[in-house]
Structure 1
């Protein structure tokens, strides 16, 4: 019996229609978009531009406000570390973020702390939300940046980034949003006047290794980012390196498919969630994160009296699941996200994340998962 894949928050299978397009641009149209002297290069350049036009439009942004990167981690680093010199030059070294961010934000911010920046890591309430008021209360004249994730990768809780963007747009403080989990799924939020948005392709059926950073102008003014890598400056002089044309085209194709099918995808995701929760009826458990403000395809639970690592082992032939971020899966310490929410240590140490793409759950056997939980509860 195949193992059901329930770790889509870590990565998704490449959508077959995307894989077909990627393969074409790897084997047939293999030109370098930087080659201007022949048709192979010019066709590649036009394909990249079409992808840039399409993706920027989803943010109500201009094409020259979007650069391609290897994924949200690189985008986060460019946004956070690239703004550091401006902060130093203007004596604005204060940053507001949250304690539930992905390590791809927390660790660059810790690096900035080592360079003399003052970073406030706000704790959420026990629902996992950061309130706009909590952010606004921390602003100072020297606040350079607010960096908040769109959708939490462990709990699926949606942060009010669009509302915060409206407040910050009239201040000198920039807003960066890590939208790795929310990109394409909650597109309306990301049309708000957010200064910088990081996205990854492999959460929506695109290949791993491709993402983007939106850098939205304020009027005529560009965000004063400096490059953190050097060697060509192909992407607006902020990101050097030969563009991976097949991956760029694949990202655009994945977004196009997701946009066309988003409503049925959401309905399918909700159906899977309902099936899982129905199977857990009668099993003592705690849902981590407020379901009323969470995406439908991520569910984080702690089962009373169950050691999650033992449960994952018990489920290895039934379902592929995780305790949280793939970037920290080697660590068995309590989740920093659940701990920051103020949950008891036993709850925070035993959170199980189930996340899915509806089309990849046809073989889902909720009763087997529930039986595994019951067997460990004794």
Structure 2
């Protein structure tokens, strides 16, 4: 029996339709988007522009507001560190974020702090979501940026983006969200025009690794005052120079369009799998992490009394592939900063595992999994 992959929050399988498009631009239409003197270049440019439209359409943005990157980590860095110059120029050196952000947000904020910026890291409660009123209370006249993720990568808990948008309506601070885990899955919150900066990764929505985007909405007719982190070539409005990876970009565009097209069907499949899993595991009295009414239906962060996560992962490794934290920090065995920020002790945090799936996940024998867990007691 093949091991079932249940770590889709780390990365998703490549969708067949997306793979076919990527291969087409790898092997047949292999032109450089920057080549303006022949049809190969023109067709590559057309593919990139189509992908911009497809990505922008998910959030109701415009084509020229999409900057292609290598993924959400680069997008987060460009969004946060790219505003550094504007903050210095305007005398706005205060940033608000949360204690449960991905390291790709927390570490750029740390870098700003070392340069004299002040960073407020908002706590969360046991429910796993930041209190929007805490954002309101933290705002100051010199607040440059508010960065709050759309969906937490470890718990699957949705953050109150819509409420934060309302709070920011009368404030000039830029609003950035790391949407790596929610883009194409939770559609409504990212459509509000007050969400200025949106970071996405292709490999979280069945596109290949190595491609993502930063959506940079204009304010009226004004572009956001971002400055590049790298230089040379002038691509992507000078914000992200380098030869564009047309096959990856075309694949990301297709994946974004398909995510919207098949949204309802995918949500139904994920909800059904979640209900089956919870039903089979319920006799073991598991503890679910965070407010489940705020959780996406493709992920469970869960623990079983008296069982360490590492022991559980090893015991189940011939049945399912799961994790106990962010894949980006999986080499570290320190307790999750997300779970610690939710008030867990080291022992409780180290007991939690993350199980995540998608519409492509094959049938899972949850009864066999439950029986295996019983043998550990």
Provide the C-alpha distance between the structure 2 equivalents of 1:344 and 1:368, rounded to a whole number of angstroms.
Answer: 30
> TM-score, length-normalised on structure 2?
0.98
* Bigger mean CA deviation after superposition, 200-209 or 48-57: 48-57
Matches within 5 A, 1:65-144: 65-144=65-144
Provide the C-alpha distance between the structure 2 equivalents of 1:76 and 1:244, rounded to a whole number of angstroms.
Answer: 19
> TM-score, length-normalised on structure 1?
0.98
Q: Retained in 2: the 8 A contact 1:334–1:350?
A: no
Return the offset for 1:342. Answer: 0.8
Provide the C-alpha distance between the structure 2 equivalents of 1:195 and 1:261, rounded to a whole number of angstroms.
Answer: 26
Instruction: Spell out, residue by residue over 1:217-270, the C-alpha distance to the aligned partner (whole angstroms, 9 max, x if none).
Output: 111221111001111120011001111101111011111222111111101101
Secondary structure at the counterpart of residue 375 of structure 2 = helix
Secondary structure at the counterpart of residue 280 of structure 1 = helix
Provide the C-alpha distance between the structure 1 equivalents of 2:169 and 2:245, rounded to a whole number of angstroms.
Answer: 33
Return the offset for 1:171. Answer: 1.2
Q: Retained in 2: the 8 A contact 1:335–1:351?
A: no
Q: Which residue of 2 aligns with 1:291?
A: 292
Matches within 5 A, 1:42-81: 42-81=42-81
Return the offset for 1:9. Answer: 0.2
Q: Which residue of 1 aligns with 2:8?
A: 8
Q: Which residue of 2 aligns with 1:346?
A: 347
Provide the C-alpha distance between the structure 1 equivalents of 2:58 and 2:16, rounded to a whole number of angstroms.
Answer: 23
| Runs (4+) off by over 4 Å | none
Q: Which residue of 2 aligns with 1:147?
A: 147
Q: Which residue of 1 aligns with 2:33?
A: 33
Provide the C-alpha distance between the structure 2 equivalents of 1:47 and 1:170, rounded to a whole number of angstroms.
Answer: 39
Are residue 17 (structure 1) and residue 21 (structure 2) matched? no
Return the offset for 1:187. Answer: 1.3
* Bigger mean CA deviation after superposition, 194-203 or 326-335: 326-335
RMSD of the alignment, in Å? Answer: 1.0
Secondary structure at the counterpart of residue 276 of structure 2 = helix
Secondary structure at the counterpart of residue 236 of structure 2 = coil
Provide the C-alpha distance between the structure 2 equivalents of 1:206 and 1:243, rounded to a whole number of angstroms.
Answer: 16
How many pairs does the alignment contain? Answer: 376
Secondary structure at the counterpart of residue 96 of structure 2 = strand
Secondary structure at the counterpart of residue 120 of structure 1 = strand
Provide the C-alpha distance between the structure 1 equivalents of 2:332 and 2:374, rounded to a whole number of angstroms.
Answer: 25
Are residue 209 (structure 1) and residue 204 (structure 2) matched? no
Provide the C-alpha distance between the structure 1 equivalents of 2:330 and 2:290, rounded to a whole number of angstroms.
Answer: 20
Provide the C-alpha distance between the structure 1 equivalents of 2:198 and 2:57, rounded to a whole number of angstroms.
Answer: 13
Provide the C-alpha distance between the structure 2 equivalents of 1:310 and 1:61, rounded to a whole number of angstroms.
Answer: 45
Provide the C-alpha distance between the structure 2 equivalents of 1:47 and 1:358, rounded to a whole number of angstroms.
Answer: 27
> Which sections of structure 2, spanning at least 5 residues, go unmatched?
none
Instruction: Spell out, residue by residue over 1:178-230, the C-alpha distance to the aligned partner (whole angstroms, 9 max, x if none).
Output: 00000011111110120000001111110001111011111122111100111
Q: Retained in 2: the 8 A contact 1:306–1:373?
A: no
Q: Retained in 1: the 8 A contact 2:58–2:257?
A: no
Return the offset for 1:324. Answer: 1.3
Q: Retained in 2: the 8 A contact 1:56–1:63?
A: yes
Instruction: Spell out, residue by residue over 1:70-95, the C-alpha distance to the aligned partner (whole angstroms, 9 max, x if none).
Output: 10000000000000111111221110
Provide the C-alpha distance between the structure 2 equivalents of 1:127 and 1:146, rounded to a whole number of angstroms.
Answer: 21
Q: Which residue of 2 aligns with 1:270?
A: 271
